[in-house]
Structure 1
Amino acid sequence: MDFWPEFLANSWGREFVAGGFGGTAGVIAGYPLDTLRIRQQQCSSNKGSAFSILRNAVAREGPCALYRGMAAPLASVTFQNAIAFQTYAVLSRACDPNVAKDDPPSYKAVALGGIGTGAIQSIVLSPVELIKIRLQLQPKPQSNTNQPTIHKGPLDVARNILRKEGWRRGIYRGLTITVLRDAPAHGVYFWTYEYVREQLHPGVRKNGQETFRTMLLAGGLAGVASWVCCYPLDVIKTRIQAQSEFSTAKYSGIVDCFRTSVKEEGYSVLWRGLGTAVARAFVVNGAVFTAYETALRFILNNNSNNNNHEAIQTETAL
């Protein structure tokens, strides 16, 4: 009976629940744009605009095609965001040990904490994104018998990858490029968020009293900045994770994928889908930070009210 009050009374419990709300809001808000981004990155021709790819996908496969593979990130998002926010809180403090407990860490510590968070989170995120990408690029089932195997969901994809490709070359394909993308991107992400919210509301990093408008704007700009700085690496990551051991066009590694893609399609391929990614990043990260901060405030206020109520009851009993 006392599990939830005790769980929410410590920082890990609060970060876990608030991170889950934030992550879920972000996945739901931006998933159709994420599917569109993945298809743009994987497309071997730059003739198709974002709108034409979107229109063709909906016309041929139906609106549900934009949400294909969403179960994988939704299932892991609570744990993933709990790791991210809690790790960031610990690392940013550890990188600035001389700061007072009630004062926010320096911007340098924020960036370093973000870099460490991105690297650690990649261990969980890489398999989830690989499964998601395979499902997002999966064609709609057809009646002909020559079509490749159609997977029913994330668990089916995971089982198939493990059976045919194993752990290192299968489930964890693309881990290195994911770390290279996420470590600096998270440093930029958290630094931008902290800097923008402080510029909009001086002193807010200490009192935490920013408005919803500030949360949305700071979170959105943080997401945009983090994607712009790492986008070419994300394109390479998508192409590496989209292929399997049995793909006809197979890249031998990160450098080979980069060279082959640029040679065949030009340097512009490294920025293909950036507009979609930026639009998605603003929507998703605005939703993530707003839901996260709102949930955190609600939990803290609820804990405070419960403590006050218990104190009143104790005084009355005495």
Structure 2
Amino acid sequence: MNSDNNWTALVTDFWPEFIASSWGKEFVAGGFGGIAGIISGYPLDTLRIRQQQSVSGSAFKIFRNIIANDGPVGLYRGMSAPFASITFQSAAVFQIYAVLSRAFTSSSTQSNSDPPSYKAVAIGGFGTGALQSFFLTPVELVKIRLQLQTSTQQPISSSSSHKGPLSVAKSIYKTEGLRGIYRGLTITMLRDAPAHAVYFWTYECMREQFQPGCRSSGQERFSTALVAGGLAGVASWIFCYPLDVLKTRIQAPTQRLSPRYKGIVDCLSKSVGEEGYRVLWRGLETAVARAFVVNGAIFSAYGLTLRCLFSNGSN
């Protein structure tokens, strides 16, 4: 009984103090940013995944088939997997980035009130992308399996068709173990580490270009965050897109007991050999459109929430 009371006291004491701190505010704001991003861009994400795995790659044809076979709900298939985790994931990403970018900023040249240097921003983004891969890989694996599943597919067994993320995760763990849950970890890390460096560096540069001095004041306009965030998303996706195509193919479901590809090099060789180098850019236009919408929403929601929290904290 005492241990329960101690645990309750720890929780009730910790969270108010944590949210009142700078770290807590950044964590909460990141969570709201992630929610805004997943709601605004998930249908386009489904189209991107289908394009990367298809032969034709036509976004309109894929969209029409999804609506005809599954209805509008087909565009949101698998959303519960990232939505259930996106609040924590996005919150953790922004928090880790804030800590790392400050840590890599030279204290001898900047005061505590100055924004992180652009070099520190890039290094902090790189480290953030690498660390989040360990959490993101299983989530995206489950999401991709659900997004590529259609109501008209003919499964080879009753366990091949799943109703939700837990069903997919249990099936993967049962047949492939923990290694199967983390299939695609290497390619996810290779994609996300440099992409996040480009992502945060572009955002910081663009917001300062659009509204000089906003990095120091932290008071950028809504339109500044929206456009700078959108451009940051576009830049990072263009930079890493071929790796994302390979990741989708490596993590895609297969009707064979063994994986279709032995690794990243094998996936690249077979994909290019069968479909040419254009396959590495298939679905890019959908990804770019989604990136602008999603990341504009993420940074706008993040900045707005952060300003509200700091404003309330100062009253």
TM over 0.5: yes
Question: What percent of counterpart residues are identical?
Answer: 67
Indicate how the Cα distance of structure 1 residues 243 and 159 shifts in structure 2: closer, same or farther if over 3 A, else same.
same
Q: Aligned pair 1:128/2:128, yes or no? A: no
Q: Aligned pair 1:153/2:164, yes or no? A: yes
More divergent stretch after superposition (227-236 vs 11-20): 11-20
Indicate how the Cα distance of structure 1 residues 144 and 50 shifts in structure 2: closer, same or farther if over 3 A, else same.
closer
Q: CA contact under 8 A between 1:165 and 1:244: conserved in structure 2?
A: no
> Aligned to 1:94, which of 88, 103, 112?
103
Amino acid at match of 1:51: F
1:265-302 Cα deviation digits (max 9, x unpaired): 00000000000000000000000000111111111111
For 2:101 and 2:24, the matched residues in 1 are separated by 19
Match of 1:73 in 2: 82
> Aligned to 1:113, which of 117, 124, 130?
124
Q: CA contact under 8 A between 2:155 and 2:161: conserved in structure 1?
A: no
Q: How does 1:288-303 map to 2 (within 5 A)?
A: 288-303=298-313
For 2:120 and 2:27, the matched residues in 1 are separated by 22
Q: CA contact under 8 A between 1:69 and 1:135: conserved in structure 2?
A: yes
For 2:296 and 2:215, the matched residues in 1 are separated by 17
Indicate how the Cα distance of structure 1 residues 190 and 143 shifts in structure 2: closer, same or farther if over 3 A, else same.
closer
For 1:265 and 1:127, the matched residues in 2 are separated by 28
TM-score of the superposed pair, with normalisation by structure 1: 0.91
How many aligned residue pairs are there?
Answer: 302
Give ranges in structure 2 of 5+ residues lacking alignment: 1-11
Q: CA contact under 8 A between 1:19 and 1:82: conserved in structure 2?
A: yes
For 1:74 and 1:211, the matched residues in 2 are separated by 27
Q: CA contact under 8 A between 2:250 and 2:267: conserved in structure 1?
A: yes
Indicate how the Cα distance of structure 1 residues 103 and 145 shifts in structure 2: closer, same or farther if over 3 A, else same.
closer
> Aligned to 1:280, which of 275, 286, 290?
290
Match of 2:63 in 1: 54
CA-atom RMSD in angstroms: 1.9
> Aligned to 2:232, which of 219, 222, 225?
222
Secondary structure of the residue aligned to 1:166 is: helix
Match of 2:260 in 1: 250
Give ranges in structure 1 of 5+ residues lacking alignment: 306-318
Q: CA contact under 8 A between 2:191 and 2:244: conserved in structure 1?
A: yes
Match of 1:26 in 2: 37
TM-score of the superposed pair, with normalisation by structure 2: 0.92
Q: CA contact under 8 A between 2:159 and 2:171: conserved in structure 1?
A: no
Shift of 1:3: 5.8
1:164-197 Cα deviation digits (max 9, x unpaired): 11111x1100000000000000000000000000
Shift of 1:17: 1.4
Shift of 1:249: 7.2
Q: CA contact under 8 A between 1:165 and 1:245: conserved in structure 2?
A: no
For 1:188 and 1:231, the matched residues in 2 are separated by 13
Shift of 1:18: 0.9
Q: CA contact under 8 A between 1:197 and 1:210: conserved in structure 2?
A: yes
Shift of 1:12: 2.8
For 1:251 and 1:145, the matched residues in 2 are separated by 20
1:109-140 Cα deviation digits (max 9, x unpaired): 10011000000011111110000000001121
